[in-house]
Chain A
């Protein structure tokens, strides 16, 4: 599976939009991009998944350019409760196991 690279940490003020970019240069045709969120003392939680272009749900948006070598998770108007670690994963279709990297530690401050 393609290796992912994302920033180790990010800081943001409440109410701002946060964009976390992940690079996955060696992504394959049958791979999806998936993002998970992990709060302290909890297990990771699925946020969003996409293949190309843009996907939006009630939590976030995911932007994937045409070459699919990177993706951007966008969190609109973050609050303190969005402080968490965000993981970008490349998932091969067919329910292969999730392989987690270090993730991005997002700190939202008032």
Chain B
């Protein structure tokens, strides 16, 4: 397996534009997580899914953020409209439904909103 695949790797957009980040989890994994990382706040959990169903979205900062998982092999994180303070690295991770096995992270998407 190629691991967790995220696209794009880098995104530069203007304030007010819609941004869509994409994630393909590892095949067979039941859980999918979206994290955001900044220097100031570190790694923050935004939302996670189990079997394509959102379980906890309490980390989503505002209504401008939304996430979907239409099937087991694809998830999106959308920001509309984007703001400069959304600039960060966004990571997607997936894991088996077993507590003893760690989560696997993608390479991340570096988002810059100007």
Count of A residues near B, CB < 8 Å? 24
Task: Indicate if the CB atoms of B42 and A95 lie closer than 8 Å.
Answer: no
- Indicate the member of A36, A43, A96, A103 with the most B CB atoms within 10 Å: A43
Q: Are B99 and A91 in contact (CB under 8 A)?
A: yes
What residues of chain A lie closer than 8 Å to B30, measured between beta carbons?
95
Residues of B within 8 Å of A43, CB to CB, are 4, 91, 93, 105-108
Is there a chain A Cβ closer than 8 Å to B95's Cβ? yes
Number of A-B contacts (CB under 8 A): 57
Chain A binding site: helix, strand, loop or mixed by DSSP?
loop
In contact, B106 and A95 (Cβ under 8 angstroms): no
Nearest chain-A residue to B3 (Cβ)? A43
Q: B residues within 8 A CB of A96?
A: 99
Residues of B within 8 A of A81 (CB): none
| Chain A residues numbered 44-59 whose CB sits less than 8 Å from any CB in chain B | 44-46, 49
- Residue A83, interface by CB 8 Å: no
Residues on the B chain within 8 Å of A98, using CB: 33, 45, 93, 103
A100 contacts B99, CB within 8 Å?
no
> Knowing that A41-B108, A46-B102, A97-B45 are A-B contacts, what are 4 other residue pairs whose CB atoms are under 8 Å apart, sorted by A's residue number?
A34-B102, A93-B99, A96-B99, A100-B43
A interface, CB within 8 angstroms of B: 32, 34, 36, 41-46, 49, 87, 91-103
